[in-house]
A and B are shown apart, each in its own frame.
Chain A
Amino acid sequence: EAQVTQNPRYLITVTGKKLTVTCSQNMNHEYMSWYRQDPGLGLRQIYYSMNVEVTDKGDVPEGYKVSRKEKRNFPLILESPSPNQTSLYFCASRERNSPLHFGNGTRLTVT
């Protein structure tokens, strides 16, 4: 089944403790991206990647890192999480001029 898999679904952590949210897609898509969604707000892009070893900042990249060492994986790294990074995170992938396929989301709480 074609899908984008992100883990974990829920994560509660403390300020400053490094964490990684994994994302994997099995559709051989070149393009992958991360979004955060806060209550009452839309989808804001954090980082995106057009291909292996190619990553670019989106609209809200501060406090996040990503890597794209393999085509299928695009992990999101928070080196020193802060409470303002409490949010719902979505990973997504697509081909050119094709719709985005979203993962199920990761609800992160930073206390």
Chain B
Amino acid sequence: GENVEQHPSTLSVQEGDSAVIKCTYSDSASNYFPWYKQELGKRPQLIIDIRSNVGEKKDQRIAVTLNKTAKHFSLHITETQPEDSAVYFCAAVQGAGNMLTFGGGTRLMVKP
């Protein structure tokens, strides 16, 4: 089955700096890659996603890049703010069985 690894597990940045979270996946048939943000005690919520026919997608301060050859994708947050502090999960969806596999999560702390 699919295996998704996410790094780092914790990330601390200064307000205004950029943050980058990286994920690798094992199944070359995976074709959809969502990212979720989970604030303390709340449900994960989708913040951005990318499909395998696209190399990059941006939404204001958030961007995701995908390298299908290397089987990795990354979340980039620019000009971080304290409200960006949360746990972020990447995921990969396999094409054939349409199974979704989560990475282990990254706790992002933005210091004011």
- Interface on A for B, CB 8 Å cutoff? 31, 33, 41-43, 50, 90, 94, 96-100, 102-105
Interface of B: prevailing SS = strand
Interface residues on chain B, size class: 20 to 34
Q: Among the interface residues A33, A99, A103, A104, which one has the most CB atoms of the partner chain B within 10 A?
A: A99
In chain B, positions 35-74 with a C-beta closer than 8 Å to chain A are: 36, 41-46, 49, 51
Interface assignment of B13: CB less than 8 Å from any CB of chain A? no
Q: Are A42 and B100 in contact (CB under 8 A)?
A: no
A90, A94, A98: the one within 8 Å of B44 (CB)? A90
In the complex, how many angstroms separate the beta carbon of A91 from the nearest chain B beta carbon? 10
Q: Among the interface residues A41, A42, A98, which one has the most CB atoms of the partner chain B within 10 A?
A: A42
Q: Are A42 and B43 in contact (CB under 8 A)?
A: no
Interface assignment of B108: CB less than 8 Å from any CB of chain A? no
In the complex, how many angstroms separate the beta carbon of A94 from the nearest chain B beta carbon? 8
In chain B, positions 54-98 with a C-beta closer than 8 Å to chain A are: 89, 91, 93, 98
Interface assignment of B102: CB less than 8 Å from any CB of chain A? yes
Q: Are B98 and A97 in contact (CB under 8 A)?
A: yes
Q: Are A99 and B34 in contact (CB under 8 A)?
A: yes
| Pairs of residues from A and B, 5 with the lowest C-beta to C-beta distance, nearest first | A102-B43, A99-B46, A42-B105, A42-B104, A99-B34
Which chain B residues lie closer than 8 Å to A43 at the CB level?
A: 44, 89, 102, 105
Cα of A39 to Cα of B104 in the assembled complex, Å = 12
Asked whether A99 and B49 contact (CB < 8 A) given A42-B105, A43-B102, the answer is: yes
Cα of A41 to Cα of B87 in the assembled complex, Å = 11
In the complex, how many angstroms separate the beta carbon of A30 from the nearest chain B beta carbon? 10
Which chain A residues lie closer than 8 Å to B89 at the CB level?
A: 42-43
In the complex, 12 of the A-B residue pairs with CB atoms within 8 angstroms, ordered by the A residue number, are A31-B98, A42-B102, A42-B105, A43-B89, A43-B102, A43-B105, A50-B98, A90-B43, A99-B34, A100-B44, A100-B100, A104-B42
Which chain A residues lie closer than 8 Å to B49 at the CB level?
A: 99
Q: Are A105 and B43 in contact (CB under 8 A)?
A: yes
Nearest neighbor of B87 in chain A, beta-carbon distance: A42
Q: Among the interface residues B32, B36, B44, B103, which one has the most CB atoms of the partner chain A within 10 A?
A: B44
